[in-house]
A = this chain, B = another copy of it.
Amino acid sequence: MFEVAELGRKLTKQEFDEQSPDLHTRLLQVQRDLAGSGKSAIILVSGVEGAGKGEVVNRFNAWLDSRGIQTTAFWEETDEEAMRPRYWRFWRAMPPRGSIGIMFGSWYTRPIIDRVFNNIDEAEFDRRLQEIAEFERMLTDDGVILIKLWFHMAQEKVQKQLAADAKNHKAKLRASPYTTKFSRQFDAFMEASQHAIRSTDQGGAPWHIVEATDRHFRDLTAGSILHDSLAQQILASAQAAKAPKKRKKAAVSAEPTILDTLDLSQTLSDQDYSKKLAKWQGKLHELSWLARQKRRSVVLVFEGWDAGGKGSTIRRLTQAIDARLYKVISTAKPTDEEAAQHYLWRFWRHIPMAGNVSIYDRSWYGRVLVERVEQFAKEAEWQRAFAEINLFEKQLSEHGIIVLKFWLHLSPEEQLRRFNERKETPWKLHKITEEDWRNRDSWGAYKLAVNDMVQRTSTEFAPWHLIPGNDKKFARVEVLKIVCKALKQAL
């Protein structure tokens, strides 16, 4: 595969100087088009050591308007990064819509290094590459223009370069711990890289291999690829936007859904409630400190009908947990920084460091619930969200995070009773809004959405628990019990 980048192509300085101004102007133009397009671009700068990746990045910064670019270099992970799932550091560096993110090192670096130094076997390597492919598809589906550049030089050129560097004081200062190791492992590195490139060379995010021996040829080629990729995709999305949109009414289920299987008549007496609440809260207190000690995080997701008791159930949990160990994250309207990113970005933001409990009062499931029912998201968007959410939760789970999800269910009659009660209680009045009444009208559509959600996202690593909640006391104890049992099993 890399033979095509060992052809010895060159440009003289004069040729470069002739062609550069035109490319410069066109890049600035396409960057302005990007700013107005609602899309963002990520440029991955990767390739062999000594190929001048840093020089290329400097050139891009000189050609483009630096105000729309952010460059991120991924060095060794910091401890804050190591205490979160692998992709967190990349989510941190995502450029907002309209701008360009240049990434120096990327999600490919770690798997390739791990493979070269035999920390992972071929099967695990393939699994990681598969994960990358899914991750990239998620980005491009969301309108990210992903430009993957690989800078190549023939082995003898690299060796010569590295040998020269080894004698050079300045180059030594910047050598990474891998530089020498790499030069010794050139073949293994090439093989793993080829494998990675081949497995992830997808339609929406193709690889571009750039011959890097001559710096004029290298920079102009990379600049042209950048321009053409941006221009093509901005044009394609502008055309797609012209296609007529049809808005259809949200589907409503006449069939019984999984929610109809719940026994809403279950209750708990006051006395039983006090006893059991104290028992399980005591256990939770202990387990949450144990989780802290073992550096295991817990993510608890609460979804449910309005007035279903999310808030009061969450309070029964937090009462039992030391205030330093938990965070309640209420999912409200995204800020403009959040709206300028993939919808999962704002949840990645709040991923807890190892050893903390994050409780989500509503969550990323908004995508397949309210956004689906109210048609804020297009059908294609919420349809693909199921797989995206599974991928997200799998990454949490693989990092050792315990993920539990609760749907607090009640009957429409009980909801009405609670709405009326809220209207009459001073400190509950703020909890009832026009929107709550409107949502009641869409009960059938929500039921269908919940059914689909549970069917498609209840996984062995992040199961849904449907809680019969007509009796709040019963529901609270039920949730506490499930959380405790899951923690006990996992710790």
Contacts and interface: CB of A to CB of B under 8 A. Distances in A.
A270 interface: no
Contact of A73 (B57, B75, B323): B323
B426 A61 contact: no
Interface stretch (A62-70, A109-117, A179-187, A383-391): A62-70
Contacts of A174: 289, 292, 322
A104 B323 contact: yes
Contacts of A71: 323, 327
B330 A73 contact: no
A322 B54 contact: yes
Given A66-B311, A75-B324, A427 B61 contact: no
Contact of A173 (B28, B58, B290, B337): B290
Contacts of A292: 173-174
A170 interface: yes
A295 interface: no
A293 interface: yes
Nearest to A311: B66
Contacts of A70: 327
Contacts of A311: 66
A61 B328 contact: yes
Contacts of A80: 78-80
Contacts of A75: 324
A332 B67 contact: yes
A481 interface: no
Interface string A73-100: 1010011100000000000000000000
Nearest to A175: B289
A392 to B, nearest CB: 22
Interface string A411-431: 000000000000000110010
A430 B32 contact: yes
A427 B336 contact: no
A348 to B, nearest CB: 16
Contacts of A73: 323-325
Contact of A335 (B24, B55, B336): B336
A286 interface: yes
Interface residues of A, number: 55
A303 to B, nearest CB: 15
B170 A285 contact: yes
Contacts of A61: 315, 318, 323, 328
Nearest to A54: B323
A426 B25 CA distance: 6
A361 interface: yes
B426 A67 contact: no
B323 A173 contact: no
A427 B24 contact: yes
Contacts of A426: 25
Contact of A66 (B21, B169, B330): B330
A231 to B, nearest CB: 16
Contact of A430 (B62, B65, B169, B322): B65
A319 interface: yes
A292 B102 CA distance: 21
Interface string A1-28: 0000000000000000000010011001
A427 B323 contact: no
Top-9 shortest CB links A-B: A73-B324, A57-B323, A173-B289, A67-B330, A54-B323, A25-B427, A336-B336, A79-B79, A25-B426
7 contacts: A21-B427, A62-B315, A70-B327, A79-B80, A80-B80, A173-B292, A336-B336
Given A53-B323, A66-B311, 7 more contacts: A62-B319, A73-B324, A79-B80, A173-B286, A173-B290, A174-B292, A335-B336
